[in-house]
């Protein structure tokens, strides 16, 4: 097998792994929604397949993004009635944590003590986005490594 064939094989394998990893992560995304029911705020969370995210921890996030107060766990029906801390105005960051790769992040705008449901923003964790770029950068890294080896070989034969 020639050097070019080896490099091509390694590059294609890395690209294939990157594509498969991206599809796997996307297939298990969590979708969450909020509604007021009889004056109580209800969170519904399920995987993109429709299966409830049973047992997922729901917590507030601190301003620095670290986990804060835990509000409860998603039930077998995929729902949790939330009791939010008293806040008249501002934004609360909420995390639905179904385990690594299975998280949802919501920004809840609060006005006059109530969540403005029409303005809730679903955000993506920055780590997830950065890891996707890392997978895409793997073939480039392999190519650079191959180039470094190729450049060093003539100097070793002296």
Q: Looking at residue 76, what is its pLDDT?
A: 96
Considering the entire predicted model, what is its pTM? Answer: 0.61
Tell me the domain boundaries of the chain: 27-131
Name the CATH architecture for the domain at 27-131.
Sandwich (2.60)
Q: Looking at residue 143, what is its pLDDT?
A: 64
Q: Looking at residue 52, what is its pLDDT?
A: 95
**Three-state secondary structure of 20-48:** HHHHHHHHCCEEEEEEEECCEEEEEEEEC
Q: Looking at residue 128, what is its pLDDT?
A: 47
Q: Looking at residue 15, what is its pLDDT?
A: 64
Stretches where the chain sits below pLDDT 70 are: 1, 5, 8-9, 12, 14-28, 124-158
Q: What are phi and psi of 99, to 5 degrees?
A: 110, 175
For the beta carbon of residue 157, count every other beta carbon within 10 angstroms. 5
């Amino acid at each position: 097998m020639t050097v070019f064939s080896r490099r091509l094989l390694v590059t294609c394998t890395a690209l294939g792994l990157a594509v498969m990893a991206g599809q796997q992560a996307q297939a298990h995304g969590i979708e969450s929604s909020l509604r007021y029911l009889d004056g109580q705020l209800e969170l519904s969370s399920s995987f993109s397949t429709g299966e409830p995210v049973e047992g997922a921890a729901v917590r507030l996030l601190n301003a620095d993004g670290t986990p804060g107060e835990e509000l409860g766990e998603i039930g077998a029906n995929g729902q949790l009635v939330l009791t939010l801390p008293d806040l008249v105005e501002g934004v609360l960051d909420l995390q639905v944590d179904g385990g690594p790769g299975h998280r949802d992040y919501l920004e809840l705008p609060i006005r006059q003590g109530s969540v403005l449901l029409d303005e809730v923003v679903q955000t993506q964790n920055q780590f997830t986005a950065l890891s996707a770029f890392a997978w895409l950068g793997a073939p480039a890294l392999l190519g650079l490594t191959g180039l470094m080896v190729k450049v060093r070989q003539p100097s070793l034969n002296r």
